[in-house]
Each structure stands twice: as structure tokens, then as C-alpha cells.
Chain A
Amino acid sequence: MHICPRCESNRSEVVTRSPVKGAWEVLLCPVCMFTWRTSEPDSITDPAKYKSAFKVNPEDIPNAAHVPPIPERVQDRS
């Protein structure tokens, strides 16, 4: 488990490792869907240095606007 630099959840997981052993890992946060590579600059990988304008509060995620809205089922279309 790793800390997500963007929403600071502790649920991030490795989705791939570099073909050249030990160069980097790619991590994915299942809460805010942020993805990062461990070899990126610390302004991307370090929760304390991640730009504040781009931080995501996990509590806001369920309220994010639906684009597009989910339409009503139309019975006679199926």
C-alpha cells in the first residue's frame, strides 16, 4: 500500500513494474484514480509537494458532476 500524492488515500497499488528491473513502478489510486510513476519528480510523487490546486478531497469524489448525466432507461428501446 502506498499514499496517493493527490488524495492521500493509502490504498494505492502497483499496476506495473519497469521491464528493466528496479527502474520504476507505476501506481494507481482506486479512490481518485490518480496514476503516477515512482521515477517522476517529487512535485508529482510526494503528497507534501503535490500542487495544492490539483489536490483532490476524497469526500468530494462521490459528488463529482456526471458528464454526461446517466439517462433514464427507455423501456421500448431494448
Chain B
Amino acid sequence: MAYKDFRDFLHTLEKEGQLLTISDEVKPEPDIAAANRALHNLGDKTPALFFNNIYGYTDARIAMNVMGSWPNHALMMGMPKNTPLKEQFFEFARRYEQFPMPVKREETAPFHEVEITEDINLFDILPLFRLNQGDGGFYLDKAILVSRDLDDPDTYGKQNVGLYRMQVKGKNRLGIQPVPQHDIAIHIRQAEERGENLKVAIALGCEPVITTAASTPLLYDQSEYEMAGAIQGEPYCVVKAKDADLDLPWGAEVILEGEVLAGEREYEGPFGEFTGHYSGGRAMPVIQINRVYHRKQPIFEHLYIGMPWTETDYMIGVNTSVPLFQQLKDAFPNEIVAVNAMYTHGLVAIISTKTRYGGFAKAVGMRALTTPHGLGYCKLVIVVDEDVDPFNLPQVMWALSTKLHPKHDAVIVPGLSILPLDPGSDPAGMTHKMILDATTPIAPDIRGHYSQPLDSPLGVAEWEEKLSHMLR
């Protein structure tokens, strides 16, 4: 099932009791960010927030936390809102294998209603506001950005759709942070080596499925639009941009078209990041916006980001875990059971696997480090047995506390790559990484006393069924 557009998904959230409208007047700062931070402190089943009475504005409407909980993530996939996380993971993995689903093309879109090409002022058009106190300015942090590979523009999968933080630094000017491990850095480099500007398009207020695909660490030549179709189970709807050969999400609220200015760097940041730390200030590329179009009375979607967990963590939890799961399964198809890479975008990853012989689990951990996502993340990989649920942290802690011998099972690999935003990396972008093997030693590794694992009383499964019915 597909959501027609962003508003369609908001209607579903409302119908399911997962959208809370705040009609009392709020100040742009600090109220909106504070409300969202507070919401994240209240658990993992929270609703989206919709602000429609913002001090100083006449008709601004801001939606936040749209995918910031497990119920909202389940609804994104068209599943019942109370679907357990592990079930969401396996269903996401099943749909991931339906990739690629070809796109559906349209000639026009609702966002063509209003078009601006002269005297663009993003501060007038968008209700921008500060998120965290040390932020260097107002950001777009839940917009998707579309760009093309210049060396191979005809390979559809190399058109990139990604989520990047963008600081609004002038009336028609944005700053962008291209993390080297992400695809946009490749496109910017191609353009700058030619001395050309890179055409880009930015979409705000999208259906959650394209935001999910855009934040999934797909392989470089895999199309996010074709993955969005796979996840929603029917072709994803796109329309052409006007100034470049780029596809845009049909259901977006606002589109900005522009170009990354070749060879230009400008002070950007700091920005409060998903690591729970500010990024620091650096000189980064600049995007000039040449054309804006939007729906009448557009809804501005934004995302509070900060110390985990926030909406980001729900948004990139399952969809970070699944590519790692699939890539590990490519190497070890009969062993890998599940992967939980939900912690700080996979800086920590937990892998559940069967083991074929002594030392096998450490090889699984090493493979995780060399997956495309692992190159920039996976600083700590914990490997557990097949009977440990990696999404159940008490079980993972049990495995660590009883299966791991620090002398044999803690492996440190020095001098590997990591995303520069990791505040512990030194220099930024470099780190040692660690594998913790919390699987049970098997031959020829004959360490420890593991021949008498505790089993359960007979009949537990029947009692689970019986009691769960009695508790309903």
C-alpha cells in the first residue's frame, strides 16, 4: 500500500491516534524543539506533533516527529501500529528483497501550485527555527536531496536521493555537509573536478517511505526511488525537475531547485547531531537555490535531532539494520539470523549468527566492518548466538556477561575509517574498532564450561499462548 502524499500519511496518523495537534500558541524558539525533546523523553510510542499556531506567523504549519516512534514506523510500512519491532525488521527485510520496483512517472504534481523564481527568500517561504542552543543557525534536516552521477548519468540507480543537513545561510543559499562515506560527496567531487556546479533538487515534506529509502545505506548504484517502491509494495511516483534531469517525489510539499557552487566553501555549523554532540564549525560546500515551488499553505516538516533517542533513531534504525543483514547474509547465507544496528546509526551493531567452527563469529564481525555502511560506522560489533535476540538488550547483556572472555573475545582492529562526526574519532574520520565475540565457543575452540546450558521447563510455549490470551 502506498500513501498518496505527505498529507495522506498525516491523516493516517491522526486516524490511528498518532498525531497530536498543538493549537496553543508556541514560540518558534525554544518551544518547538523543547516540545519535541520532551516527547522523546516520554517513550518509544509517541505521536507526531502538528503545530498550527506559531508566534509571529499567520498561517505556518509545522509537522514533527512524523516517524519518531515504533508505531509510526509500523504505519509507514502499512502495518498495524502495535507491530513488534522484530516483526517490523523481518518484514522490512522481506520487502527489501523485492527491490527494484520501477518508478511511476507523472507530468505534474501538487507542488506545482505555487512557483517562485525571482527574489527567492527561504526565510519568508519556510517557517525556519533553531533546534538546539549551540546550532549555528536554522537548518533543513528532514529534506531529501537529489543529484546525479556525472560520469554515468544514464544508470538510473546512480541518481542519489539522500538526507543531508542543510543550514539556511542566506535568502537563496544553503550550506551542506557531505560526509565522505555518503553518495553526495562523490557527485560533488565529480562536478568540482570538472569545475562545474552540481545541479540538485531538494524536497521537503515527503511521504515517509522515500525519507526511509533516502536514509537507508543502499549500495551506490541502487535507486532509492526503486527501493521506496519495494518497501511500499507498489511503484513510487516521481515527476521531473524543471532545471535538471532529476526525479522528484510526487507527494512532496515544497521543492527547491539549485546547484552546488563548484570550488566554494563557507563556514557552516555547529549543528547538534545524532551522536549527541555538536559537529563543530567547518568550511563546507554551498547550494544556491534558483527555483522554488510548493503546495498552497505548505506543511513544513522538520525533525528534532539530539542525544539519542530522537526521531532520527527510529527513522534510521530498521533501515540501517536490514542492509547490513542482507550483506552479511550474502557472505554467510546459512548462518546470519538477524542484525540490530539501531544504536547511533550503527556505530554499535549487534549480530545474531549460527557458528560453524571456532573463530567463526569473529569472521562475521570482521565482515561487518568491511560492508559499505561498516566503513563509516560499526565501531563496536557485538556477535551473539542464534538463540539470542539482538533486539532484546537484556539477552545481549546476558550473552556478553556469560559468553565473553576478554582475553580471547575482544578484538581491536586499529586505524580504520569512521564518519568524521564520531566525536571520539582521532583525527576526525579515523578510529580503532572492536569486535566482541559473545557467542558460545565451539570446536576447535574448547574454552569454558558451556556443556550444560539452562533449558526451560516443558510446556512453556503452551503457557505463553494461554497466558497471553488471559491477559488480553
> Residues of A with Cβ closer than 8 Å to B?
6, 15-16, 18-20, 23-24, 26, 28, 32-37, 39-41, 43-44, 51, 53-54, 56, 61, 64-68, 70-74, 77-78
Contacts and interface: CB of A to CB of B under 8 A. Distances in A.
Interface of B: 27-30, 55-59, 121, 123-124, 128-130, 133-134, 136-138, 167-171, 175, 177-178, 180, 185, 188-190, 192-196, 263, 265-268, 270, 278, 281-285, 420
Contact of A35 (B138, B192, B195): B138
A67 B270 contact: no
A68 B193 contact: no
Contact of A33 (B28, B29, B169, B278): B169
B193 A71 contact: yes
Nearest to A72: B193
B133 A33 contact: no
Contacts of B285: 68
A35 B168 CA distance: 8
Chain A interface main SS type: loop
Chain B interface main SS type: loop
Contacts of A61: 267
Contacts of A44: 29, 130, 133
Contact of B57 (A18, A34, A36): A18
Nearest to B278: A54
A18 to B, nearest CB: 3
B214 to A, nearest CB: 20
Contacts of B178: 67-68
Given A20-B57, A65-B283, A15 B121 contact: yes
A6 B283 CA distance: 17
Contacts of A39: 27-29, 55-56
A65 B59 CA distance: 40
A26 B170 CA distance: 11
Contacts of A16: 121, 123-124
B194 A74 contact: yes
